[in-house]
């Protein structure tokens, strides 16, 4: 049995999905597009898979999210739909429900946040609502786990007995809209039945004129004209255009249903609390200071107080493990070349990356809390007019902020933007937001060269990235991406406490992803680099690392970096390895200098001066992102050539900015 979980954004959909599936989740993509497809097996039910559709407000064919949701239901024929509805915001949530009912698939409405409704003196006559809507309605409180088993029982029964929604007429029977809908039903019902399409859904699409429904149904010119005539007549007698007339019909029906079945709560505690919190968080004078304070706190906790400490602990653990493994292999009498592969290649490469796992997880912990509490939406609200100046909307701020964690999920997060133009522009800008994998590079270098001003160097680098990003955005805005940004019409959900389970599952997912990368891309990278540096051009084991294959490649490329201050084959080589993953820059430098990451700082002085160190840091900040991020860019831009252009132009920009820094610095010092 396959179920689809559909609902508005901020309706508690993820919480319900997590409650139903636990940690048994699979994350992928919908076919052909780049919208995330999450699915999982429902706990306690054999062979019952539930697919979490993207959060949508409507099923018009405008955004990718709306298209994949509709396509999934119409083409993959799920056995049932679980429609989650936020009971505290029932009118707008039911708007989507009415559209889903037209799809003629067994459906159950999960009325979420009923605990909040009750606590605020409201009540909902669930049986009445179920009668009006023609589908079972089950009250739940997903965050507390209440009603989940009743919900699944109802869903299972409805889906396995194939009980279809019994109501799909939402129009007043004496209205012009009613006449219009029914006249078109007569015209096209047999066409739709033959194609196996739900006819009410087809009629809605025909009236709204969205997409190519007339082509799909194979209507002839005569029928098309007749339908247009019927719709125009409806527009004339209602005084509303077709889209407004249908929206009006749906909201009228909902208002009627709400009047009958819902005793509205007085202004909810949660809403009052939200308004009170907003007085500070989006207040005229407090919003920006609070925003910067929050960002500062997140960074300080991640890169200093919590994340960094855990990282240090982990590094010690890995070091001990490596030492133990080395001793063990030595005692076993393993071939020295193989032992070198294991210890110097794999353990050194992967280990150095793994110790940064805590930083990544800590950052995602804070980002997910910002998202789940509802503050992320306020960031978009507060920052909108600033971002609009560079041609983007406030919503682009969120993916760009994620970019400070990791470019890969950040680029993936651009899918939430509804305009193709904004999406592409945000994708191009995100790599300028220095990702957390570059932190090890900054950390090692600033500790080695500017031990007293490490924080200042870090902040300086982040700001440089942002400034270059803004300049690039202004350039894009007036060249590649002329035109207007997307409409910015967005819900500001009530503030809520994030659920520990949702945060934990997200962290688990991110950690898994990071570890996977560490053991695939970085594992491979470490082996290749080890191979290149262990053997010379005749595949003999090298005695002096200056003879290695890698040294040959590095020497070939190094002169390019002369004008920016680091013409050295080891530096060139580490930058090449940074292409596989940014963390490798440091591990490669350590391997090439024949030292450990911890001691790297003491050796770096022989390669860099403080000025060339800065130039190098600026270059690593701006040059091409890692292969995983490039793959994500390619997926989103859907063009290899454009992706290549992005990669090359970033390397060129990085070189130019480093050149400026190095030469101006040279004059000043």
Partner 1 sequence: MTLDQLEIGKSGRITTVGGEGALRLRFLDMGLIPHTVVKMQKAAPLGDPIQILIRGYELTLRLEEAAKIEIEPEEAEE
Q: Which stretch binds partner 1 (CB under 8 A): 268-276, 335-343, 349-357, 530-538?
A: 268-276
Check residue 519 and report its DSSP letter: I
Instruction: Count residues near partner 1 (CB under 8 A).
Output: 44
Does 488 participate in binding partner 1 (rule CB under 8 A)?
yes
Rounded to a whole number of angstroms, the minimum distance from the CB of residue 312 to partner 1 is 39
Residue 584 in the binding site for partner 1 (CB under 8 A): no
* Contact between 578 and partner 1 per CB under 8 A: no
Does residue 97 belong to the site contacting partner 1 (CB under 8 A)?
no
With vertex at residue 359, the alpha carbon angle to CA 577 and CA 472, rounded to the nearest 5 degrees, is: 60
Q: Which of 64, 88, 130, 548 binds partner 1 (CB under 8 A)?
A: 88
- Binding of partner 1 by 91 (CB under 8 A): yes
Q: How far is the CB of 388 from partner 1 (least distance, A)?
A: 8
Q: Which CB atom, from 285 or from 332, has the smaller least distance to partner 1?
A: 285
Tell which one of 11, 34, 112, 282 touches partner 1 (CB under 8 A). 282
CA distance 383 to 565: 38
461: how many CB neighbours lie within 10 A of its CB?
23
To partner 1, the closest distance from the beta carbon of 59 in angstroms equals: 10
Among candidate residues 87, 69, 56, the one with its CA nearest the CA of residue 4: 69
Residue 197: half-sphere exposure toward Cβ, Cα within 13 Å: 21
Say if CB 600 and CB 613 are below 8 A apart. no
* Residue of 45, 251, 519, 531 that binds partner 1 (CB under 8 A): 251
**HSE, side-chain direction, 13 A CA sphere, residue 247:** 11
Helix extents (H) in 123-263: 126-133, 148-160, 176-195, 199-208, 213-216, 221-238, 242-261
Nearer to partner 1, 258 or 507 (CB): 258
Q: Which of 283, 601, 610, 665 binds partner 1 (CB under 8 A)?
A: 283
- Region 418-457 residues binding partner 1, contact defined as CB under 8 A: 418
Distances (CA, A) of 23 to 56, 287, 424, 505: 24, 37, 33, 7
CA torsion, ordered 602, 570, 610, 599, to nearest 10 deg: -10
Please report how close the Cβ of residue 493 comes to partner 1 at its closest, in angstroms.
8
**Which residue intervals of 282-335 are DSSP H helices?**
287-300, 307-332
Instruction: Tell me whether residue 382 or residue 406 sits nearer to partner 1 (CB atom).
Output: 382
Beta bridge partners of 101: none
**Which 3 state secondary structure label does DSSP give 144?**
helix
Using the minimum distance from each CB to partner 1, give the nearer residue, 280 or 652: 280
Residues in CB range of 141: below 8 A, 6 or more apart? 112, 113, 114, 115, 116, 147
Q: Which of residues 534-573 bind partner 1 (CB under 8 A)?
A: none
Q: Bridge-partner residues for 29, per DSSP?
A: 36
Binding mask 372-411 for partner 1 (x = CB under 8 A): --------xxx-xxx-x-----x-----------------
Nearer CB in complex with partner 1: 450/488: 488
Q: Alpha-carbon torsion 527, 647, 424, 493, what sign?
A: positive
215-223, 240-248, 344-352, 446-454 -> range binding partner 1 (CB under 8 A): 240-248
Q: What minimum distance in Å lies between the beta carbon of 56 and partner 1? A: 9
Q: What does the binding site for partner 1 look like in residue numbers (CB under 8 A)? A: 57-58, 60, 62, 88-89, 91-92, 95, 240, 243-244, 247-248, 251, 264, 271, 274-275, 278, 282-285, 287-288, 380-382, 384-386, 388, 394, 418, 486-494
């Amino acid at each position: 049995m396959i179920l689809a979980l559909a609902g508005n954004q901020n309706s508690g959909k993820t919480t319900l999905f997590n409650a139903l599936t636990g940690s048994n989740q699979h994350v992928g993509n919908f076919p052909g597009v780049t919208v995330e497809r999450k699915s999982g097996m429902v706990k306690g039910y054999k062979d019952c898979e539930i697919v979490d559709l993207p959060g949508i407000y409507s099923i018009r064919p405008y955004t990718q999210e709306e298209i994949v949701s509709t396509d999934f239901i119409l083409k993959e024929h799920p056995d049932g739909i679980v429609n989650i509805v936020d009971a505290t915001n029932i009118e707008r949530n039911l708007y989507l429900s009415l559209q889903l009912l037209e799809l003629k698939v067994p459906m159950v409405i999960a009325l979420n946040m009923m605990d909040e409704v009750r606590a605020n003196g409201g009540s909902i006559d669930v049986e009445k609502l179920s009668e009006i809507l023609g589908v079972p309605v089950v009250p739940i409180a997903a965050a507390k786990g209440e009603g989940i088993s009743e919900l699944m029982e109802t869903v299972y029964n409805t889906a396995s007995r194939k009980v279809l929604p019994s109501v799909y007429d939402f129009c007043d029977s004496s209205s012009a809209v009613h006449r219009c809908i029914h006249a078109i039903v007569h015209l096209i019902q047999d066409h739709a039945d033959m194609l196996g399409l739900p006819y009410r859904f087809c009629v809605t699409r025909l009236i709204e004129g969205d997409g190519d429904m007339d082509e799909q149904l194979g209507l002839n010119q005569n029928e098309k004209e007749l339908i247009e005539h019927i719709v125009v007549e409806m527009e004339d007698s209602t005084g509303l255009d077709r889209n407004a007339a249908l929206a009006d019909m749906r909201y009228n029906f909902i208002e009627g249903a709400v009047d009958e079945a819902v005793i509205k709560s007085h202004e909810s505690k949660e809403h009052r609390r939200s308004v009170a919190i907003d007085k500070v968080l989006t207040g005229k004078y407090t919003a920006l200071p609070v925003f910067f304070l929050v960002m500062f706190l997140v960074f300080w906790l991640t890169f200093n107080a919590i994340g960094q400490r855990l990282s240090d602990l982990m590094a010690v653990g890995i070091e001990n493990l490596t030492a133990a493994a080395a001793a063990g292999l030595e005692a076993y009498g393993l071939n020295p070349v193989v032992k070198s592969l294991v210890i110097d290649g794999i353990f050194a490469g992967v280990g150095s990356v793994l110790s940064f796992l805590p930083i990544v997880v800590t950052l995602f912990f804070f980002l997910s809390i910002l998202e789940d509490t509802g503050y992320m939406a306020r960031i978009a609200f507060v920052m909108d007019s600033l971002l609009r100046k560079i041609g983007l909307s406030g919503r682009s701020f969120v993916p760009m902020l994620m970019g400070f964690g990791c470019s890969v999920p950040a680029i993936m997060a651009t899918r939430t933007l509804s305009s193709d133009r904004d999406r592409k522009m945000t994708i191009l800008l995100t790599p300028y937001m220095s990702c957390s994998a570059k932190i090890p590079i900054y950390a090692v270098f600033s500790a080695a060269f500017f031990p007293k001003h490490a924080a200042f160097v870090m902040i300086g680098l982040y700001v440089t990235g942002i400034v270059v990003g803004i300049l690039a955005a202004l350039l894009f805005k007036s060249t590649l991406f002329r035109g207007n940004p997307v409409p910015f019409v967005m819900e500001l959900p009530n503030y809520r406490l994030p659920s520990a389970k949702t945060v934990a599952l997200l962290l688990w997912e991110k950690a898994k992803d990071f570890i996977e990368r560490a053991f695939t891309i970085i594992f491979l990278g470490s082996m290749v680099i080890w191979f290149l540096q262990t053997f010379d051009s005749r595949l003999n084991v090298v005695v002096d690392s200056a003879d290695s294959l890698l040294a040959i490649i590095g020497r070939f490329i190094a002169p390019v970096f002369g004008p920016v201050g680091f013409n050295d084959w080891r530096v060139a080589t580490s930058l090449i390895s940074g292409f596989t993953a940014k963390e490798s820059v440091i591990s490669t430098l350590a391997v090439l200098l024949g030292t450990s990451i911890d001691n790297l700082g003491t050796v770096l002085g022989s390669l860099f001066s403080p000025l060339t160190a800065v130039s190098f840091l600026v270059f690593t900040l701006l040059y091409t992102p890692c292969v995983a991020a490039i793959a994500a860019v390619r997926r989103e831009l859907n063009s290899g050539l454009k992706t290549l252009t992005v990669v090359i132009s970033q390397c060129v920009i990085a070189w130019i900015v480093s050149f400026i820094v190095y030469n101006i610095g040279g004059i000043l010092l």
